[in-house]
A and B are shown apart, each in its own frame.
Chain A
Amino acid sequence: MDTHADLKPPLTEVCGHLTSVVIGGLPIDIHSADPDFIAMLERRYAGFVATHAHGGIRLDVEVVAAVGDRDDEDLVVRYVDGRWKIERGDFRANWNPVSMRGSVRQGSYPYAIDSVMRIVHSLVLAERGGFLVHSASAVRNRRAFLFSGVSGAGKTTISRLAPPDVTLLTDEISYVCRTGDGYRAFGTPFAGDLDKAGMNISAPIAGLYLLAQGRHNHAELLPSAGAARRLLRNILFFADDSALVERLFRTACEFVLQVPVYELTFQPEAEVWNLIE
Chain B
Amino acid sequence: MSEKYIKPSRNIASRMLAGEMVVMLVKDSRVFSLNATASAIVNAADGSTPLREIVARRVVDEFEVDAEEAYQDALALVESLAQEGILLLADHPIEQESV
Does the CB pair B26–A256 fall under 8 Å?
Answer: no
Known: A250-B13, A253-B15. A226 touches B31 (CB 8 A): no
Does the CB pair B24–A232 fall under 8 Å?
Answer: yes
How far, in whole Å, are A224 and B33 apart by their CA atoms in the complex?
Answer: 10
How far, in whole Å, are A228 and B22 apart by their CA atoms in the complex?
Answer: 8
Q: Which residues of A contact B32 (CB under 8 A)?
A: 229
Would you call B99 an interface residue if the criterion is a C-beta within 8 Å of the partner chain's C-beta atoms?
Answer: no
Known: A249-B13, A250-B13, A253-B17. A229 touches B26 (CB 8 A): no
Nearest-CB distance from B69 to chain A (Å)?
25
Beyond A224-B17, A242-B11: 5 further Cβ-contacts under 8 Å? A225-B18, A225-B22, A245-B26, A249-B26, A253-B15
Q: Per a CB cutoff under 8 Å, which of B17, B19, B22, B24 touches A245?
A: B24
Band of interface residues on A: 10 to 19
Known: A228-B22, A242-B26, A245-B24. A256 touches B17 (CB 8 A): yes
Does the CB pair A257–B24 fall under 8 Å?
Answer: no
Does the CB pair B33–A225 fall under 8 Å?
Answer: yes
Does the CB pair A229–B29 fall under 8 Å?
Answer: no
How far, in whole Å, are A233 and B31 apart by their CA atoms in the complex?
Answer: 8
0 or 1 for each of A209-238: is its CB under 8 Å from B? (1 = yes): 000000000000001111011001100010
Does the CB pair B29–A237 fall under 8 Å?
Answer: yes
How far, in whole Å, are A226 and B11 apart by their CA atoms in the complex?
Answer: 21
Does the CB pair B17–A232 fall under 8 Å?
Answer: no
Which residues of A52-93 have CB atoms within 8 Å of chain B's CB atoms? none
Residues of B within 8 A of A (CB): 11, 13, 15, 17-22, 24, 26-27, 29, 31-33
Q: Which residues of B contact A229 (CB under 8 A)?
A: 22, 31-33
Known: A224-B17, A228-B17, A253-B17. A242 touches B27 (CB 8 A): yes
Nearest-CB distance from A223 to chain B (Å)?
6
Q: Per a CB cutoff under 8 Å, which of A225, A237, A242, A246 touches B17?
A: A225
Q: Which residues of B contact A233 (CB under 8 A)?
A: 31
0 or 1 for each of A79-109: is its CB under 8 Å from B? (1 = yes): 0000000000000000000000000000000
Nearest-CB distance from B2 to chain A (Å)?
33
Q: Per a CB cutoff under 8 Å, which of B11, B20, B24, B27 touches A223?
A: B20
Does the CB pair A232–B15 fall under 8 Å?
Answer: no
Does the CB pair A225–B29 fall under 8 Å?
Answer: no
Residue on A with the closest CB to B16?
A225
Q: Which residues of A contact B21 (CB under 8 A)?
A: 225
Does the CB pair B17–A257 fall under 8 Å?
Answer: yes
Does the CB pair B13–A246 fall under 8 Å?
Answer: yes
Residue on B with the closest CB to A225?
B20
How far, in whole Å, are A242 and B33 apart by their CA atoms in the complex?
Answer: 20
Residue on B with the closest CB to A232?
B31
How far, in whole Å, are A228 and B23 apart by their CA atoms in the complex?
Answer: 10
Residue on B with the closest CB to A240?
B27
How far, in whole Å, are A223 and B26 apart by their CA atoms in the complex?
Answer: 23
How far, in whole Å, are A253 and B22 apart by their CA atoms in the complex?
Answer: 9
Known: A229-B32, A256-B17. A246 touches B26 (CB 8 A): yes
Residue on B with the closest CB to A230?
B31
Q: Which residues of B contact A257 (CB under 8 A)?
A: 17
Q: Which residues of B contact A250 (CB under 8 A)?
A: 13, 15
How far, in whole Å, are A98 and B15 apart by their CA atoms in the complex?
Answer: 30
How far, in whole Å, are A245 and B24 apart by their CA atoms in the complex?
Answer: 9
Does the CB pair A245–B15 fall under 8 Å?
Answer: no
